[in-house]
Amino acid sequence: MLDPFDDTYFMKKALQEAERAFEKDEVPVGAVIVVSNKIIARAHNLTEMLNDVTAHAEMQAITAAANFLGGKYLNECTMYVTLEPCQMCAGALYWSQIGKVVYGAADEKRGFNSLGAKLHPKTEMIGGVLQEECSQLLKRFFVEKRNLN
């Protein structure tokens, strides 16, 4: 039997968050954190609205998940995020000891892989889930920005 709660299912939920960021004129990145097929945190990039470079979707989701769980370690959790985390977010994920990170589009310029940052050795990582959809949303955002200026 097919599992309805697969990586694609939750990445779609992260994409919905990214679309919320898009609507607010924020770089459209979204994230959800899941435990036992239940979403315990949803967040999207708010760096412009909050005037704060630390307000990436992942950072807010980590804070929200820890708040929900009442503990700061996310060993049993999976994060779904539409864009490969930057080194700041990879660093936060490292400290959280999160069980698994699934990302959509790769970020070859600012992603943690190319910048050399590290996740926790216990953290499983998968990239490229709904890569095309995640990437298209970002491209559409930057094309619209360019045309406005």
- Binding of residue 37 to a second copy (CB under 8 A): no
- Binding of residue 9 to a second copy (CB under 8 A): no
Task: State yes or no: 134 annotated in a binding site.
Answer: no
Q: Which two tokens stand for residue 73?
A: 């370690």
Residue 5's φ and ψ, nearest 5 degrees, are -100, 60
- Binding of residue 118 to a second copy (CB under 8 A): yes
- What is the footprint of a second copy within residues 50-109 (CB under 8 A)? 51-54, 59, 62-63, 66-67, 70-73, 86-92, 94-96
Minimum distance, C-beta of residue 116 to a second copy, in the bound complex (Å): 4
Size of the site for a second copy (CB under 8 A): 28
Contact 47, 27 (CB under 8 A): yes
Task: State yes or no: 86 annotated in a binding site.
Answer: yes
Minimum distance, C-beta of residue 144 to a second copy, in the bound complex (Å): 21
CB atoms within 10 A of CB 142: 11
Task: State yes or no: 77 annotated in a binding site.
Answer: no
Gap between the terminal Cα atoms of the chain: 50
Annotated binding site for Zn(2+): 56, 86, 89
Annotated binding site: 56, 86, 89
- Contact residues toward a second copy (CB under 8 A) are 47, 51-54, 59, 62-63, 66-67, 70-73, 86-92, 94-96, 115-118
